[in-house]
Structure 1
Amino acid sequence: MSAPSAAQLAAIAVVSAVSGAVNSIAGGGTLLTFPALLGLGVAPVSANATSTVALWPGSLASMFGYRRELVGAERWALRLAIPSILGGLTGALLLMATSDEQFRAIVPWLVFGATLLFALQGKVMAWLRHHILEVPHGEPPIEPTRGMMAVQFLVSIYGGYFGAGAGIVMLAAFGLMGMTNIHRMNGLKNFNGICFNGIAAVTFAVKGLVNWPIALVMAIGSSAGGYAMSGLAQRVPQGWVRGAVSAIGLASAGWLYWSR
């Protein structure tokens, strides 16, 4: 793709701002930014890499809101960070080994699957809250097993390769692992997401897959949108936002399928 025009940068800035606002309310902003990048003419693999790099700073900032939840779970965090980093690197390398033609063929299914995960997130969280026990923050978590680390590795491969919807998969996996504190689960989800997205972002940057002008505009736009909406996030019905994003995600998956 040639250098983006001012109009294209303005368009992706608006989409990114909306994405940041959506993320602050219900998540799922990637389902807006990724199809928008493809619509601007960015090659599929580069679009995915650019989106990963652009959204990582926001993920890092959000983790600080959950730092208290990781107190007492440092061993969990450190042990799961290893498979997260290795899985993220594996996913990034798999993406780089995928041609634009191949990625264009499978990306409608990735977007469709991520949209379903996003749409079902409310029900999954309701199931987790029903089946887990809310406990004080200071309760020591159970010791991670090799099986748990293997699951995290597989989730992180997907996270490094595409990533949309990886958070809800991690939360479900943590619940099945036997974790009993939903707040700590959210903290670990954010920490491990930073790990696999971080290593993937570095890999994409080193390999020259990132469209930096667009990535910088996206980072600024999503941060501005998230900050502007942060004060109103609790007042906006999540169901409305989730329904709108799910509809856009399904429409995007259909458009990506028919325009391959």
Structure 2
Amino acid sequence: MSPVEAALIALAGVAAGTINTVVGSGTLITFPTLLAFGVPPVTANVSNTVGLVPGSMSGVFGYRRELAGQRSRVLRLGSASLLGGILGAVLLLWLPSAAFDAIVPVLILLGVVLVVIGPRVQRAVAARAEARGGIPDHGVWWVWPAVAATGVYGGYFGAAQGVLLMAVLGIGVADSMQRHTATKNVLALIVNAVAALVFIAVAEVDWEVAGLIALGSVIGGQLGATVGRRLPASLLRAVIAVVGLTALVALLV
């Protein structure tokens, strides 16, 4: 690998780490970059997942203030992400991708729509739950299985996993967008980490590529935390929608 290629992969890691911390979909930058430099698709996906784990950790650290008071919520929903991530990683290694790839754009579009209409739906969910005694701290009943399903998708491919998580949390859990972003970062980290462990154990990892992406994504994680914390809820929701639609177009094209 030439110095120029190495620098470009590291820069892609910076961009991916920044976007993943704020929204998600950073994989749509690093994955095509690796393909452009001739890395085989499965190796690129595996190496990219491994490389983005340090960036996810950086994003979680950057949003540590917003995690205050969310211990029980993160532990409960984290178990869903753990199980989903394991299943998704196994699916990537053992099943043909055609059927799953067909539904990925639908899931991303659904996530974008849910983020946009999230406040209205959340109010309706909250009103119904209030009549039954209020929304639990960990969210309404369907949040856990929805997070688990998002984990399956994240373990399989991961692009726009954050968009889907923000949609689920924004509708089913009563809290601010910034605190949802912090929770999303932890859940995405769990999925990426468990998938990376599975890949390291049984798949071929290009460690040079993974290292370059890791270096860049750690820097990007801190940049994303700085930028994301300053975005008001409405603007953050708009950013999520734009990134989600961009991811949808990129996958369709």
Distance 2:81 2:237 in 1: 31
Distance 1:159 1:226 in 2: 18
Contact kept, 8 Å, 1:121 with 1:168, in 2: the verdict is no
Distance 1:202 1:228 in 2: 26
Distance 2:249 2:144 in 1: 35
Q: Which residue is equivalent to 1:209?
A: 204
1:180 corresponds to which of 159, 174, 190: 174
Gaps of 5+ in 2: 127-134
Q: Which residue is equivalent to 2:31?
A: 34
Q: Which residue is equivalent to 1:70?
A: 67
Q: Could you list the per-position Cα deviations for residues 94-132 of structure 1 after superposition, in whole angstroms to 9, with x for gaps in the alignment?
A: 11113xxx44x5687577457646866862566578779
- Cα deviation, residue 35, structure 1: 1.4
Q: Which residue is equivalent to 2:40?
A: 43
Q: Could you list the per-position Cα deviations for residues 140-194 of structure 1 after superposition, in whole angstroms to 9, with x for gaps in the alignment?
A: 95355664322221111111111111222222222333x2112432232222112
Counterpart of 2:63 in 1: which secondary structure? helix
Q: Which residue is equivalent to 1:137?
A: none
Q: Could you list the per-position Cα deviations for residues 170-229 of structure 1 after superposition, in whole angstroms to 9, with x for gaps in the alignment?
A: 22222333x211243223222211212111111111113321100101111233455568
What is the count of residue pairs matched by the alignment? Answer: 240
- Residues 50, 64 of structure 1: alpha-carbon distance in 2 compared, 3 angstrom cutoff: same
1:91 corresponds to which of 88, 92, 116: 88
- Cα deviation, residue 42, structure 1: 1.9
- Cα deviation, residue 230, structure 1: 6.8
Q: Is 1:223 aligned with 2:227?
A: no
Percent of residue pairs identical: 33
Contact kept, 8 Å, 2:58 with 2:221, in 1: the verdict is no
1:152 corresponds to which of 144, 147, 150: 147
- Residues 11, 200 of structure 1: alpha-carbon distance in 2 compared, 3 angstrom cutoff: same
TM-score norm. by structure 2 comes to: 0.73
- Cα deviation, residue 36, structure 1: 1.4
Q: Which residue is equivalent to 1:170?
A: 165
Gaps of 5+ in 1: 134-139, 256-260
Counterpart of 1:45 in 2: which secondary structure? helix
Distance 1:243 1:15 in 2: 21
Distance 2:224 2:44 in 1: 25
TM-score norm. by structure 1 comes to: 0.72
Q: Could you list the per-position Cα deviations for residues 70-106 of structure 1 after superposition, in whole angstroms to 9, with x for gaps in the alignment?
A: 33332222122222111100000111113xxx44x56
- Cα deviation, residue 52, structure 1: 1.3
Distance 2:240 2:148 in 1: 28
Contact kept, 8 Å, 2:112 with 2:241, in 1: the verdict is yes
Distance 2:210 2:45 in 1: 11
Distance 1:47 1:33 in 2: 9
1:123 corresponds to which of 116, 124, 138: 116
- Residues 24, 95 of structure 1: alpha-carbon distance in 2 compared, 3 angstrom cutoff: closer
Distance 1:246 1:196 in 2: 19
- Residues 37, 176 of structure 1: alpha-carbon distance in 2 compared, 3 angstrom cutoff: same
Q: Which amino acid in structure 1 is aligned with residue 181 of structure 2?
A: N
Stretch moving more, 142-151 or 77-86: 142-151
Distance 2:188 2:82 in 1: 9
- Cα deviation, residue 55, structure 1: 1.1
Contact kept, 8 Å, 2:62 with 2:221, in 1: the verdict is no
